[in-house]
A and B are shown apart, each in its own frame.
Chain A
Amino acid sequence: MSGNRGKTIVLWIFVIFGLVMLSAPTLVVLGASFTSGNIITFPPDGFSLKWYAKIAGASDLRGAFLRSLVVASICTVIAVPAGTLAGIALSKYAVRMEKTIQVYLLLPFTIPLIGSGIGLMLVLGNAGMLGQLWPVGLACCVINLPFMIWAVTASASGLDPDLELAAANLGAPPLQTFLHVTLPAVTPGIITGALLMFILALNEFLVSLLLVDAHIVTLPVQIYNSIRSIITPDLAAISVVFIACAAAAIFLLDRLVGLDIFLKSK
């Protein structure tokens, strides 16, 4: 079976290329954050935690990180009920004008981010709501809502409509059927969607950049603004905060629903 070996070799060349490309920036940022030198050099100057000590003492960075957490929480809190109900409605019921509603709900995804961001900036700005954090969270929720709906519709296939009928037949009123039968069936989707919404809002850069002013910058914007031509390791140390958050989200996702959920065919 020399043919099969050829297949394996070709596939693996691509996979290794992909792995290196995906992981290189993360690994390098991690490595650079532990350097003891004042600039990032290769090979590294030695091991130290001094950059972490430096960022821990920087109140502007701590503030930016807290603001990012607030934005991500607001986004998730709005997106979970809205996206869950919409996802269940789309996957369970024969809705009139289903195609139109689907295309409409895909708008956040099909409208380029810069377009959505500028549009929201104009709307929220004209309504006099800019300069606060919650409109940023709301905006992050709007632009990422399709992810929440996808996550829920994907797991709604695990919901057998007969189960709801059975519950009703046993005398459960509609709300009870919803809470005890429908909702548990789509829980994996809700968890996946909530984690996605949180992490995407935590990392959201462009919409944050458009909606924040100098007093309420979020962490990605703060990092972007601090990048200069000479690259210092303190930015690497802050970036590790994001790497840690990403790792925590992946761990949670794997524990609660299993990463394999993304490989399932619809």
Chain B
Amino acid sequence: MKAARTAYPIRWRVMDALEAVAGILWPRFFRAGTPYLMLAPAILLVWLLVLGLWQMADASFRTLDTNTFLLSEDYSLANYRRAVTESLFITVAGRSLIGAIIVTVLTLIVSFPYAYVMVRTPSAALRKFLLIALFLPFFIGQVVRAYGWLIILGNQGMVNEAFGLIGIAPMRLLYNYPAVLFGLVQYMMPFAVLMLAPALTAIPEEIEAAAGSLGADWVRTFRHVVLPMARPGFVGAGLVVLTLSLPDFAIPAMLGGGSQDFIANAIYDQFFRTSDQGLGATLALLLVAVGSLLVGLVFTLFGAGTLAMGRAKA
């Protein structure tokens, strides 16, 4: 008996029991359904968002009764009419949209050389250094980073103090549009580099060498070989930067100082200052719609790029 017990260790018994339980809960003929069972938890989690969209849609058709501060029972399109006609929202929407596009272009310009050097450098130490310099801000979060910029650029900040030492009058560097855009570029750069890098790794170095030996200088090699081949990376990076910077809240709030609000700040104000949930929900839904339209447009024009989740594709 004793020998038999050691020959069939407890771990095996546990595994057998688990297999038996699994077999009862999920019999063989369910096998075809296994991937769907595996997807179920994730689908359920995301379902919360769908529910959220649904409740926002419901609220968006109700107007705020200013006497009771409750949402009306009957549905109307009044909130949508206000959202597309009031000049405040049009200004804010234009500011965010133009800002997001400028930020996307600038971020891609700054990120491409960084990603290129990081991928191509023969020095493992330099690569690691560049990766750490990239991940540190990525992992620190927006509030702390924006706080850092407040210290550097504030009216009594480092730059102005340094200016004072060499006799330049202090300048107002914060709370304007360029400051917000600059903060957003800094916030987005790690995302962009991480999206670009895999696409650049996929380009064999020999192709660049071949272009060079065929007489192309490095500018032409970049223009006609590297940049076109890195397109999936640019699509992925551009999409991420655009969709994350358009609805950003923290950077416009902290570096814009209330004067440079983006859509997200306007939505927040509707919920927590004006307490007009209906109008806030309307603005949020319109933002979701614009965002999805942009993503859909890019997907149909360029494909999912490096954003694809599924099985490996060419």
- B148 contacts A146, CB within 8 Å? no
Is B170's CB within 8 Å of the partner chain A?
A: no
In the bound assembly, the distance between CA atoms of A109 and B310 in angstroms comes to: 16
Known: A40-B151, A107-B46. A115 touches B247 (CB 8 A): yes
Is B186's CB within 8 Å of the partner chain A?
A: yes
Most A CB contacts (10 A, CB to CB) among B56, B141, B190, B197 go to B141
Is B254's CB within 8 Å of the partner chain A?
A: yes
In the bound assembly, the distance between CA atoms of A18 and B310 in angstroms comes to: 32
Contact string, A251-262, partner B, CB cutoff 8 A, digits 1/0?
001100001101
Contact string, A146-166, partner B, CB cutoff 8 A, digits 1/0?
100110010001000000000
Contact string, A190-216, partner B, CB cutoff 8 A, digits 1/0?
000000000100111110011000000
Residue of B nearest to A243 (CB): B140
In the bound assembly, the distance between CA atoms of A230 and B135 in angstroms comes to: 29
- B148 contacts A119, CB within 8 Å? no
Known: A108-B46, A205-B143. A264 touches B198 (CB 8 A): yes
CB neighbours (8 Å) of B148 from chain A are: 24-26, 28-29, 239
A78 to chain B, nearest CB (A): 7
CB neighbours (8 Å) of A227 from chain B are: 147, 150, 254
Known: A17-B110, A199-B139. A106 touches B52 (CB 8 A): no
In the bound assembly, the distance between CA atoms of A150 and B50 in angstroms comes to: 21
Q: Which of B1-9, B62-70, B85-93, B114-122 contacts A (4 or more CB under 8 A)?
A: B114-122
CB neighbours (8 Å) of B42 from chain A are: 82-83, 85-86, 105, 145, 149
Q: Which residues of B contact A (CB under 8 A)?
A: 15, 18-19, 22-23, 34-36, 38-39, 41-43, 45-46, 48-53, 55-56, 59, 109-114, 116-119, 127-128, 130-152, 154, 156-158, 161-162, 185-186, 189-190, 194, 197-199, 201-202, 217-218, 243-244, 246-250, 254, 263-264, 267-268, 271, 280-281, 284-285, 287-288, 291-292, 295, 306-313
What 5 A-B pairs have minimum CB-CB distances, sorted nearest first?
A119-B52, A25-B148, A203-B141, A112-B247, A246-B139
Given contacts A29-B144, A250-B136, 20 further A-B contacts (CB under 8 A): A14-B114, A15-B130, A22-B189, A25-B151, A28-B151, A28-B152, A86-B41, A89-B39, A112-B246, A112-B247, A113-B244, A113-B247, A121-B52, A142-B48, A150-B309, A206-B250, A206-B264, A227-B254, A243-B144, A249-B139
